[in-house]
Amino acid sequence: MEKVVIRTARHSDIDAIMNIEHESFLPGLREEKELYLKRITAFPEGFLVAEDPDLGQIGGYICSELWREDQNINADVLALGHDPLTVHHADGKHLYITSFGTLKSWRGQKVGLKLFQALENKIDNRFPQVVKKILIVSEKWTAARNLYTKQGFKETARIIDFFTPDDLPAEDAVIMMK
């Protein structure tokens, strides 16, 4: 994946993004197409895709929102499907990384790391008011947690039984901040 380009997502990328969503998350943990379109609209600067221009294939995405400093960090606001048009604020001081995924065939090639670093660099350069970065991850997603830890995120809290994949036991959400 040497030729991967990281760029801002476009509405026309939605089918590729949804393909990644379906490969990355179990039923019950997937979010809807309409929500991803709202995320692109709400904060295009915070929604990036990884694309192989030679193949014309998008193999990863990362999306985020800017939240005000007084935004409570709890299960309700972190819930899957929350409306980015109501919580995103361009002057927000907290970056919430809402979702992140790569195609299985792209994993192990540092594409996720490139996406993650590109988002952080873009936010640091264009939104200097951001003082905190927040994300949640299932306790069972070890590879993701390792990536976040290596990028300086630390576990700050847990939400018991937050993730509820269909027909499987609930999983705790690990809240991580930097």
Task: Say which CATH number the domain at 52 has.
Answer: 3.40.630.30
- Reference 61, options 139, 134, 8, 2; nearest CA is 8
Between CA 129 and CA 70 the distance in angstroms is: 14
Task: Give residue-wise pLDDT tens across range 80-98.
Answer: 778 888 889 999 999 999 9
pLDDT of 42 reads 95
pLDDT of 79 reads 79
Domain region containing 23: 5-177
**Total structural domains in the chain?**
1
How confident is the model over 16-38, as a mean pLDDT? Answer: 94
How confident is the model over 94-121, as a mean pLDDT? Answer: 93
How confident is the model over 103-110, as a mean pLDDT? Answer: 90
Task: Give residue-wise pLDDT tens across range 120-168.
Answer: 999 999 999 999 999 999 999 998 899 899 999 999 999 999 998 898 9
Task: Give residue-wise pLDDT tens across range 51-84.
Answer: 999 888 999 999 999 999 888 887 777 877 788 8
Band of residue 3 on the pLDDT scale cut at 50, 70, 90? confident
- Reference 24, options 106, 131, 82; nearest CA is 106
Strands (E), 5-54: 5-8, 47-52
Strands across the sheet with 132-138, in order? 5-8, 47-52, 57-67, 94-102, 132-138, 171-177, 154-163
Band of residue 1 on the pLDDT scale cut at 50, 70, 90? low
